[in-house]
Amino acid sequence: MKTTRNTTAKTAVLEIFGKSKTALSHTEIYKQIEDVCDRVTIYRILDRLVNDDIVHKIVDLDGTVKYAKCNHHAQRVHIHNHAHFSCEKCLEITCLENVKPSYIMPHNYKVNNINFTLSGLCPNCLNSNI
């Protein structure tokens, strides 16, 4: 029975990511499916989805870990070398797939992961200020 419940919970989490255009925190996911499973199960599912390159982690400006669906997980070499945008007003984080961060590293360093986050106002918040 536990396996079925876990499958149901994983399916529910994947459906949430399928509908979301922004990165989501564990808490945001839990609020949407708290009747399906507990918090620990969601953490386990998120860890598994990260390990399987279905979602990736983003740390927002206040240190909260959020998760976003990978849009290119079918590629053989899977890296997250795109930028993220953190809105200072609505606090949503979006992946900017077409914005590739650029950096120059000394030759004796090896980069395994990058977290490139831009902050400001997203289009929705910017338009609401006009």
Residue 70 labelled as part of a binding site: no
- Closest residue by Cα to residue 116 from 90, 88, 94, 92: 94
**According to the annotation, is 37 in a ligand binding site?**
no
Contact 45, 10 (CB under 8 A): yes
Count CB-CB contacts under 10 A for residue 58: 22
Buried b (16+ CB within 10 A) or exposed e, 42-52: beebbeebeee
Give φ, ψ of 23 to 5 degrees.
-70, 150
Query: pLDDT tens, 25-52?
Result: 999 999 999 888 999 999 999 999 999 8
* pTM (two decimals): 0.75
Q: Is 95 annotated as a binding residue?
A: no
Statement: residue 129 has pLDDT above 90: no
CATH architecture of 2-128: Orthogonal Bundle (1.10)
